[in-house]
Structure formats: C-alpha cells, structure tokens
Structure 1
Amino acid sequence: MSRPPRWALALTILAASALPAVAQIAVSGNDSKRRLENGVNRVVSDATTDTATIIDLGGRAPRVVGEVPLSHSVVGPPTSVAITPDERYAIVTSAERLDPANSSRTVPDNRVQVIDLRATPPRVSQVVEAGAGPSGVSINRAGNLVLVANRNAGTVSVFRFANGALAPVSTVTIGNATSSPAHVQFTPDGRRALVTRDDPAGSFVSVLTVEGETVTKTDRDITAGIRPYGMGITADGRWAVAANIGRGGGDADTVTLIDLRREPYLAADTISVGPTPEGIQVSPDNRHAAVTIHNGSARPQGHPLRGRGQLVMLRIDNGRLREVARAPIGDWAQGIAFSRDGRTILVQNMADRNIAVFRFQDGRLTDTRQRIAVNGGPAAIRTADAPTRR
C-alpha cells in the first residue's frame, strides 16, 4: 500500500487546530518541480505539489508549525515570499509551472497567492495574476501596498492589499521584456522602491517613486555589479545591499552597498564575496548583511569549479562593506532569514531540501547542526520587516 506524501500528512495534522500564536514566523517557499542531480537542474514531471512551510522563530530553536500546498518556483531571487507586518498573511509568487502540454518542461507562470496564516489550517485564500514570471515581492510597512517584479515581462505589478485580499492597481514598465526585473523592495518610509535588474546588458538597480497607490519609474538607474539579483534594505532606511550574481563562469562575484541617506541614491561600495551570491538579507540591527554564495556547489562532482556553498557575513561600516565571518553550507543555497534579535539565521539548502540554522553573535558564525526538513526544495524565505532600530 502506497504512503501519502508527507505534505498531506502534515495538512491532516494541521486541520485539527489553527496556527498557534508565535513571537515571530518565517515562511519558506518550496519548489518540488526541480531537483539538482549531479550538476543537472532537472524538471521532475511527477513531482508532488509545491509548498510553503511556516516556521516559528520565537522559541529556543526554530520549529515547523504549518505547511500549505501552493505553486512556487526556484526561478528568480529567493525573495519571492513576503509577510504582512502583522504576520497575518503571506504572499507567494510563482515564476514558472509545469507545461500542461509537456510535463518534462516548464513555462512562465503569472500567479500570486495569498496565504491566510491564521486560518484553520493555514490556507491559500486568494490567487491573482501578475505579469509573466512573477519573482521578488514586497509589502510596504503600512501593509496596504504590494509590489511584484515580473522577470519575463520587464514590469512591476502594483497591488492594493486590504482585508486580506489583493486588487490590481497598475503595471510599471521597467524596461523591455529582457530587462529582467528580479526583485523589488520598498524603502522603509514607503516613498521609494528599488528594483534589481539581472539583465547582463544593464546590471542596474532602478528607483521607483511611490505616492499613495501611484508608482512610477524615475530616470535614476544605479550602476551595481554584474546582474544585481537579490536585495535587502536596512530597517533604518540608510543602506541597501544588492547581490550581483555575475555570469556564472566561476569568477568571484560581488555585493554592492547603496547609500540611501540622500538623493540621488548612489552605489557606495562593492566587495568581492565569491561565485554566485544568490541570497542576501540584512540584519535587524542595520549593521550586517548575510549572503549565500553557490561557489560552484551546483556543478557536477569532480568538476574543476565545484566548491562548497558558503554563508558570508558582511559588516556595514561607515559606507563600506567588510567580511567578518564565513561558514560552509549546503549545495545550491537560496534564501536567508534573521530572527528579530539577529542571532539566529536560517539558510535554505535547495539541493539538500532542508533549512540550516546558524547562530551569529559577537561577529562569529556557529552552525547549530539543526536542519529543518521541508517538502520540496526551499527556494525563498522571508520574515515580516523588522521594526526600525537606530
């Protein structure tokens, strides 16, 4: 007799009760359609459903408290999940789906999903359409406006968010269909947003103006490193960091620090971190950025450019970036999330299908050896934006 998939068992357990009250949650979006098999990124045609895993960060050790079936994708930066400031809802994008005509390949998706985290059990409460390839998503601090970067359309979708539901407002053109807007993020004051563009021909971070529900692209494009992809903005609104994934040739790639203290915003520093920095997030105290680098870990065994994935900690210090710690992680690592006190760091190991738990204190990284198993490859993770700390 065949056994039901683990996500089905998890949902059966969750159906008995609502999500318990927690001090802080993270939501991990997991892609079951793709697997890394000895350096080959393979589409799994008979995969189980994608999922979102809800993790409680409020206890002594992070723990899973819920799981929701939905559609998700590793395509795009690992910021394709966002959580409302009150932690009531999560918004998850889906950049690709299995081709209905040929399940051995994928096609661009356009779906954006709302998860009601306090339903019994947590569930997808709404599905809306954005542009082709919706990837990075962000919610403003007021919790009433949502931006989605559409990588395959060259646009950003603007949504109103009220009473737990998204309503389309407008579409902002960033460039042509190949301009590849990867992630979009509000500044903490809600007056601006930054868009990373990983088109090799551009390698810009574009600036948007936000006035109420009116979002427009300015003529300011900040020159970052090659192919800016993931991005984080400090809670005090002073700095942004962009992870520049480069051309994938095994060369050392970079992270760019952007000065947001005055306009026009300017790139202030760029530091080499290693090959393919994909995930990036800033610490709640505004002082550090955590970066995951692939370091060739997605290449086949025995390949001369294969290495061990790395978690790199950078210090933001007087307008400069400097490395303060580094530790090995799993293959094809994706997103990063901090606990509110900045001492616990979650790192998604896509190939290993788990989330590693690190401690960061006094400038030192410690691998706790805890691994949180998820159903699918963990592809994006976020917490609610931290309150401003100065």
Structure 2
Amino acid sequence: MLKTLPLVLLLAATPALAQRPPLFAIGVEADVELVHGDVVPRAQVRPDRIVFFEVVDGRPRRLGSVAAPVSFMGPPAAIAISPDRRWAFAPAENGRDSKAPGSLVPTDVLSVLDLAGGSPRVVQTVHLGADATAAALSPDGRLLVVTHADADRASLLRVEAGRAEKIGELAFDKGARPLAPVFLPDEQALAFTLAGSDRIALYDWHGTRVDPHPRQQLAAGIYPTSLAVCGPSGYAVVGNFGAATGDENTVSLIDLHTHPARVIDTASVGVSPEGVDCSTDGRHAVVANQGMSLLDSADPRYAPQGDVVLLAIRDRRLVVTDRATIGGWVEGAIFAGDDLVAAQSLADGRLHLFRRAGDRLVRLEPIVFEHGGPTSFGKAPD
C-alpha cells in the first residue's frame, strides 16, 4: 500500500504503522558552480529546490519537490523535518544578490514547508536577521533552533501548527562559529558544533527554553562541522573538517551514556570530512570527504574527486571498513535506514547511492539532478 501513496503518506503515517519507510530531503543548489577553484554564480538563473524521497525496497523514490532557497555553506545536515512528517524547515545561508544577480550575498531566510497533499509547498518565510546556517527541531516538534555561524548565535523559534515564531536567541563566544545543532535523545540536551573554537557544546533545554550557559564542552578535533546521533546505541559521531590544507582529518566517537559525555575514539578517515551520519541501528557510520576538489586544477594538492567512507562502531571504537570514490565538491552522506547510503557531489550534480552489504559499500545507479547539485539534506525522525 505504501508504494502507491503520494506525498500525503507523510500525514497518513501514524504510530499505528510499526514501520514507516525512511524519508529524506535533498536541497539542490542551482545558484553556483565551481570555476578554476572559485565558487561563482551560474550564468543562468534557476531556483533552488528541495526534493523529497522515501526508500522502498532499498531504493529512493521521489515524492515531490518545491522551489525554496538552500545553501552549499554550513553543515550538510541543515534541513529539519517534524516527527509527524507534516512540516519541514529549510535555512539558506547565502544566495544571489537581487540587485546584482551575478553576485552572492549572505541570506537570513528560513522556509517553512507544508508536506501535506500531493506536493510540498512553502507556507512561511522567516527572516532571522543573520546568516541561516542549519536547523534542528526538538523531538516534540515545539522548539526549532537555527544557527548563525557568522554572527556567533542561534535563533530559538516556537513551532505551533506549522508556524515558526522567533522567541529568543542563544549567544556564543566571538569566533565560535556554531554550525550543527543537534537534539540528543532521551535527555533534555542540545548540542552544537563550534567550529571556530574546536569544541562541541552541550546545553540544557526545557520546552522552548534553552539554558544560556553550556553544561559541558568536548574537544574532538579541528573544526568540528557535522554531528550525528547513532540511533539507540548511546553514541554520536562528529566530523572534524580540519583546515582544508590537504592533511588527513578525522571522525570522533562520543559516548552519550556517560555523565558527562566524552569522546572515546577518533579515526583517521581522509581529507576534509564534510558530513557524517549513522545507520538507524547505530552500528555503522558514514562520512563524505570533500578532499581537495575545490582547488584550482593547477594547484599541486588538487584532486578531482572526493570519497565516501564506511565505518563500523565496534567495542567502543570506530573502524574504517570501506570507501568509494565519488564526484568532487562533496557535501554530505546519509544513511536512509540501515542499508542505503546516499552521498552528495555538487560538482557532478549527482546523489551517489550505495547499498551497505555488511561492512562493504555496493555501488548503485546514482540520481542525477539536471539543474544544480545536491547540497543540504534532512531526515525524518525514525
């Protein structure tokens, strides 16, 4: 029955359904391209889009799409989807200058999407007053947090009936650069990667209130960018992007069982890990390495491709088990369920797909986007 339902299945799926198919969103950036190592606006102006997929029989099936601004800046896991799969919240950190379409400027836009009916639609546009980097929604769907990396703060928004209202802000130290906000499971904790200060900060939250002072800070690696919770395992992983100098960089494993939480392992994975994610059972993680694909080809460090790396989480350790080459300008990689891995290449406009077979990645036919490349993503809570 699920195979025949359109996007309305997002509303029809209820707790009575024991197993809902994995649902994810991909933001398709249409504004920019890479020319000799420089990110420049495309000559032809086209709208960005957000495309929604569900996974059926191990393959993603397109449900619908909507024109809405997205951004290649910030952590790839930028889009938030409500637990009931009715709403999505998509920030955009930059876009074309309306007065000079050949230029890119910071933007402060948060789009609220209604996913009911046959196709998603934008029902609210919120201007937050600073670069809108990434969004996270609390497990009860009431509190939305949007980071502003350049402004060293985060907006707090109350969500009711699909409307988002800004109710406050959270301030960070100057230069902290908050990137990824993540609500931790089974406790009232909210985590942020603070790339500028090489820290992960944990805050207490209650309802729609966040304590202004962090209860704990962890140090995992250089320029932590993306953070993902590993299902019910009690672990989380963080990608440490590094300084984009061609040096080997890392992913770290965080034990959330302990109080306080702590980093218990770090694995070398490649150059500039841009996005990380975990399987729903918490036994594997995946990371997408940007490599040095954004450099001019004349640079001796240039490499035209990035890669996606599979890691097993075993005995409180991260173990690299496989890797596969993908296109350049890699953004993120996600698990859609336990066995489907999707990795984004903005340079070749493809969503590279793999089936996890044990500890190996089996390459599948990619999804090709004609106008633009995949950049940000979001997953519906399991």
Q: State the TM-score, normalized to the length of structure 1.
A: 0.89
Per-residue deviation at 1:127? 1.2
Give the match for residue 250 of structure 1: 246
Give the match for residue 84 of structure 2: 86
- Asked whether the equivalents of residues 64 and 118 of structure 2 are also in contact (C-alpha less than 8 Å), the reply is no
Per-residue deviation at 1:81? 0.8
- 244, 249, 267: which one aligns with 2:263: 267
The alignment yields a C-alpha RMSD, in angstroms, of 1.9
Q: CA-to-partner distance for each residue in 1:318-370, whole Å, 9 max, x for gaps?
A: 22211011111111111222222x11111111111121111002111011133
| Number of equivalenced pairs | 366
Distance 1:18 1:323, change over 3 A: closer
Matched, 1:214 2:202: no
- 57, 61, 64: which one aligns with 1:63: 61
Give the match for residue 179 of structure 1: 176
Amino acid aligned to 1:203: D
Map 1:153-232 → 2, pairs under 5 A: 153-176=151-174, 178-199=175-196, 202-216=197-211, 217-232=213-228
Matched, 1:21 2:9: yes
Instruction: Provide the secondary structure at the position in 1 that maps to 2:236.
Output: strand
Amino acid aligned to 2:92: S
Give the match for residue 335 of structure 1: 332
Counterpart-to-counterpart distance in 2, 1:102 and 1:313 = 42
- Asked whether the equivalents of residues 8 and 115 of structure 2 are also in contact (C-alpha less than 8 Å), the reply is no
- Asked whether the equivalents of residues 154 and 174 of structure 1 are also in contact (C-alpha less than 8 Å), the reply is yes
Counterpart-to-counterpart distance in 2, 1:59 and 1:117 = 22
Larger mean Cα displacement after TM superposition, 65-74 or 35-44: 35-44
Q: CA-to-partner distance for each residue in 1:271-314, whole Å, 9 max, x for gaps?
A: 11111100111110111110000121223335432333111011
Larger mean Cα displacement after TM superposition, 236-245 or 180-189: 236-245
- Asked whether the equivalents of residues 350 and 366 of structure 2 are also in contact (C-alpha less than 8 Å), the reply is no
Give the match for residue 12 of structure 1: none
Runs of at least 5 residues in structure 2 that lack an aligned partner in the other structure: 11-20
Give the match for residue 9 of structure 1: none
Q: CA-to-partner distance for each residue in 1:113-152, whole Å, 9 max, x for gaps?
A: 1111114431111111335111121112222221111112
Counterpart-to-counterpart distance in 2, 1:374 and 1:135 = 25
Per-residue deviation at 1:20? 5.0
Amino acid aligned to 1:364: R
- Asked whether the equivalents of residues 140 and 188 of structure 1 are also in contact (C-alpha less than 8 Å), the reply is no
- 276, 281, 292: which one aligns with 1:285: 281
Per-residue deviation at 1:269? 1.6
Instruction: Provide the secondary structure at the position in 1 that maps to 2:364.
Output: strand
Per-residue deviation at 1:59? 4.1
- 111, 114, 127: which one aligns with 2:112: 114
- Asked whether the equivalents of residues 58 and 340 of structure 2 are also in contact (C-alpha less than 8 Å), the reply is no
Map 1:87-102 → 2, pairs under 5 A: 87-102=85-100
Per-residue deviation at 1:75? 0.7
Instruction: Provide the secondary structure at the position in 1 that maps to 2:231.
Output: coil
Per-residue deviation at 1:103? 2.6
Instruction: Provide the secondary structure at the position in 1 that maps to 2:34.
Output: strand
Larger mean Cα displacement after TM superposition, 297-306 or 81-90: 297-306
Runs of at least 5 residues in structure 1 that lack an aligned partner in the other structure: 1-16
Per-residue deviation at 1:219? 4.7
Amino acid aligned to 2:321: V
- 46, 49, 60: which one aligns with 1:48: 46
Q: CA-to-partner distance for each residue in 1:96-124, whole Å, 9 max, x for gaps?
A: 12223433322221111111111443111
Counterpart-to-counterpart distance in 1, 2:146 and 2:117 = 24
Amino acid aligned to 1:235: G
Matched, 1:362 2:358: yes
Give the match for residue 14 of structure 2: none
Per-residue deviation at 1:87? 1.4
Counterpart-to-counterpart distance in 2, 1:242 and 1:224 = 8
Identity %: 28
Per-residue deviation at 1:61? 2.3
- Asked whether the equivalents of residues 18 and 118 of structure 1 are also in contact (C-alpha less than 8 Å), the reply is no
- Asked whether the equivalents of residues 352 and 365 of structure 2 are also in contact (C-alpha less than 8 Å), the reply is yes
Counterpart-to-counterpart distance in 2, 1:218 and 1:224 = 17
Distance 1:163 1:249, change over 3 A: same
